[in-house]
Structure formats: C-alpha cells, structure tokens
Structure 1
Amino acid sequence: MRNNLLLLALLTLFTTTAFGQIQSAQGKLILTNGQELNGAITHFYDQPTEIILLTPDNTKRTLPPAEVAEIQLTDSRRFLLRDLNSERLVFQLLIGSEKMNLLKRETPSPLFYIAKDEQLHKLENNEESLLVNGKRYKKEDNRYIGIINVLMHDRLDLSEKIHKTKLREQDLTALVLAYTSGNVTYHYQPDAKLERKPYWVAYAQYSNHYRKEITTRLSYGYQAGAQYYFSSAGRNSLRFGLGYSNFTFEEANSKSYMLTIGYQYDFVKTSKMNAYLMATFLGFGYSKYHNLERNETQEASGAAIRIAPGIGFEYRSTEKLSMYAEVNELLVIDSLPKNYSLGIKYAFRR
C-alpha cells in the first residue's frame, strides 16, 4: 500500500508540474510604467508567479507579473504579459503589427492567439463526437477557421487561404503576414541552428539493486557515461552508459558488465533543477552467474531489449555541476523505493 501511494505521488507530481518551464536569459524587462530594466531574466514560461531579474551589478530583483508588460531577450524573442480569465500569462509574440498580433503560449501543446483591437482571441480546434448509423466517430470542429474569418472579414481575398490554414505556427504566421501585407513591426524568425545548441553531459552514479525475496544481501552497481541533449532549452536526451552490477542471491552471485542506451525526458526544467522520467531500453553486455551450492559458473553475453522506467530529480549547484537522485524500476511496485541511484553530472556547454 505504501509503495502504491509513492507511485501515485510521483504520477501526481508529473501531471501537476509538466506545464511550466523556467527560462533564464539575457534581455530586458519593460514595465507597465514604461521603465526598462536590463539583466539576466528568470521566469515561468507560461504562468509566472514572479519574475526575477539579476542586474549587471549582481543585484537581484523580484517583480510581480502585474508590473511587467513585456520581456525582450537578446536572442530576438519577445514575450507579452497579458491578463486572461483573471490570470496573468506569458505569450510569445510571433507577429507584431498595427493591425493584429499573433501570439503563442508555451504549454505542453502550443496554444495560439490573435490579438486585435486590444482583445485576445484563442484559436481553438476541439474534438467532437458524432453518431452516424449507430457508430460513433471523432471529428475536429476547426473552430479556429471561423474565428479567423471574423477577425479578417475585411480581406475577402484571403478566404480560400484561411480555409486551408492548419493550426500550426508556420501556417498561422504566413496567414497573418498575408493579412498585414508584410507591414509588421516584429516577425519572429528563429535561427534553428542557434536555438538547437546541443551539448554533452558526463555522469557517474551508484545504484542500489533490490528484488523482494530474491536478493538476500547488498546488491549494487556503478555506472559512468555520457548524456546527449538535443537542445540547450530542450527536454529530451539520450544516455549512453557503461556499468557494472553485482547481485547477491540466496544460492548464487551474479556479476554483469553492460553498455546501455536510455532516454530521458525533463518534464520540469528550471535554472536550478530538473525533474524527469527516464527509461533504459537497450543493453549489450556480459554476465557471470556463480551457483554457490554446486560451485558452478555460467557465462553469457549478448544484447537485450528491456524497458526499465524510472523517475529522477536533479539539482544544479553551479551552471555545469549537478547532483541527482533516481527511483528505478517503477514497474516493480513491491521493490520501490529500494531500487535507486545517486549520481553527479558535469555539463560541457558554453
């Protein structure tokens, strides 16, 4: 029961914290009173409770979102803070013009808005269920098409283009550029190569291995390896590890050497910590099994596909150095939380 509650708590953590991402970058804040402040900015990507500014003289200022109108980063990204349904939210500006603005909210699935005449209009595409001849079908209502038609009612020549527009960034950007005839004050054009900035992380860890009623004494493992992040601001990475494990059973000992490949997804990513899910899915190695009663030894080598999910927490003490703890083997409920790992990481990035 206790282990089930632990797993439930971990799943609750995942579902309640996967919606915010904290960014830390150089830029400036434009306050609602017109004042401009320069420095390193940290904020929740979607719904901030506070915005932190570290000025060039290392003075830390914490501002409530209500005092901030816009965030401008040196990498050309701009964010507007607006009130929506009694909440102060952050919207990334994609197209800025006198006629209308195209905005995006960075939730797990991006949400798009058009701002016109000081009003925010959410572009929705809801799924509806239809019953036809006794069979139920799911269909998207394409409600955003009707919303765009109303907002662009003065451009009948765009009617065909509107109806062909998909609810994705590149299509909406092209449509708003056509509506404004290219007369925009801002157009976000990401430099994919600059944004990607992949990097490597070296890691080393100790693991405690446990199987209820199978392992009789201390069973443990060591692993060192490299982790590859596809993007400095991304959440996805691959792990390549070389490890040694020692299992002690009632009648036998087992030692193994493995090269493993795993995947990690950071569902919470801040300037100081990550919370993540990971899974080892492929291994190549050698194992040696010694039966104590018969004094026999068996050896085996080869590759194996195995899904071994886990959940972890990483804390950065410096920009490059971090410590982490993981709960492994989430599918083996009666062995939680005794399957765990403790480790250290060093990031090779600028």
Structure 2
Amino acid sequence: MEYIVVIRTLGTAGDKYQQLLDSLNKQTIQPSKILVYIAEGYSIPKETIGKEQYIYVKKGMVAQRALPYDEVDTEYILFLDDDLSFPENTVERMMELLQQEHADVISPDIFPNSSRSLPAEIMMRVSGRMCARRNDDYWGYKVMRNSGYSYNASPIKEIYQSQTNAGACFLCSKENFLKIHFEEELWLDKIEYALGDDQVMYYKMYLMGLKILTWYKHGFVHLDGGENMHPEKKKKVIYADFHFKTIFWHRFIYLPETSKVKRLWSIFCIGYTFLFSLIVSLLKARWDIAGIKYKAIFDGIKFVKSSVYHTLSIVSKIQ
C-alpha cells in the first residue's frame, strides 16, 4: 500500500522533530511524500532530510489536522505529531495488521496506562476519571459514560480493538478520515488547551462504524517527556478538562443514545464525576479550584445551548 505522511507542527520541536524525520527516512516502506502542515506565523524548521513539503495552515490541534488533504493522492495517510521516533519496520507492520484484521484505523499505545500503579488505579477509578480493566481479551481503550475512558490493564495480545487512542500517530485511509468531518469539531480549538481532540476524533470514528485498533507491541518512543506545570497553567488545564468533558458528554454520549434508561445512567455518571471532583476540591479548601471547575462546567453547558453548537450535525451511532 502506498501512503503519504502528514505532520502537524509549530516547527519548534528541534531534535525531536529531526528524530521523527530520521525514523521516516529509515522505513522499509517509504512514503510517497512527507507533507508538513505548519501553523501560520511560525518559521520553517532547520531540521530536514530533504524530503519535506511545507504547507502553512491556521494554528490549532484540530485546525492542523481537520484538513481536506487535497495534496494527498494515495489511499492511505500516516498522521504524525512532531515528537516521535520508531523502528524501521513500523509502517510495514501497521499496514500488515490493518489488512490482517480488516480494520480501518491503527494507532500505537504510546501512553502506557497499563503500567499505572495500583493506588493510582484506585484513585482514578473512584474519581471516575479513568478505569483499569483486566482479563479483557477484546477491548484496548473504551470511552465511559462520564466522558472518561477505561483501559486494558493487562494487554497480552499485540492488538486490541478500541474506541479511543492517542492521536500522535495513526494510519488510515484518506476516505475514512474525511468521512468523520473532523472540521466540525473546531470548537475544541476555542479552548485554550485543546484537550480531548484525540478522543473526539477516534470516538467519532467508532460511532460511525470504523474499526479501530490499538497496537501494543511496538517500538514507538514519545519524545515529549512532559514538563513541570506552573500553578497558573495547571488551573487553565483544569478549566479546559472540565469544559471539554461537559461538551463531549452531551455531543457524543448523551445525544447519540436512543435508550431512555441509558440516557438516565449517563446523566448519573457525569453528575457523579463532577460532584465528586467538586467535593474533593472543597474538602481540600481549594475554593479557587472548585470555582474553576464550576465555571468550566457552566461555560460548557452555555456552549451546548448556543446557536453555534446547534449548527453542528448530530452524531449518530451506526449499528
């Protein structure tokens, strides 16, 4: 299968970006093109392997991915962020797995949740943020009714089906990607930190009937090791998280559900999650954090009631 690589970047990843390009240059199956969608106002990076073609687009995690890809003339696209490295047979193996499983999308599990400690698992479960599952021979990642997700805590096989994944790397056909109309989700870029764009993209694929794989036995290295978050930035991330969860829940959990009983259960799940988190902040006497969470939820509800939101097409689950 021929494929083209598309990369979203600000052009500031430096050596991490060079490692990505070097990884692509070593692939046993070479891409027809390497298209780099760089945000307007940023400089072309000096790192190169001499094969990249740069295209300026509007800045945003969604804006730099929700594109028509008129420049792509192959069936398949390898979507990448700019801070990954991987072995030389990576694309070859991804294509093999996609064909063997008759799947539509494949993505490596680059954030190994299965290595989380038991105390951390318990806290995440009680809070409703995420839930570890064991002895699951079918699912990798699943989206929960409170906008959180559950993960396979004991993966044994190389691949599992999933409802969400990390968006830093995935392989799928151009036709299937365009089918989800990701451009409808540009509301995510209005939040200062576009949390949840990966979950929106994959879960929309799942609802539309695409078969998604999570690849566990891979050689990917996510070169962005994270950073110590400044308290003020942390507050902005908390706001973005609760704002996102409110909108995601209504758009992708509540509205697509046709069962009244399951809708009521979904209301209970999101209500429990928000109430638990607010109570924890109040018990810690973190009135500022509780206020941020409340405002984020309120603003999310306000957006759901807005005329802009009601112009978005309704997402229905394909049975």
TM-score (structure 1 length as normaliser): 0.24
Q: Which has the larger radius of gyration?
A: 1
Higher strand share: 1
* Structure with higher RCO (Cα < 8 A, 6+ apart): 2
Higher helix share: 2
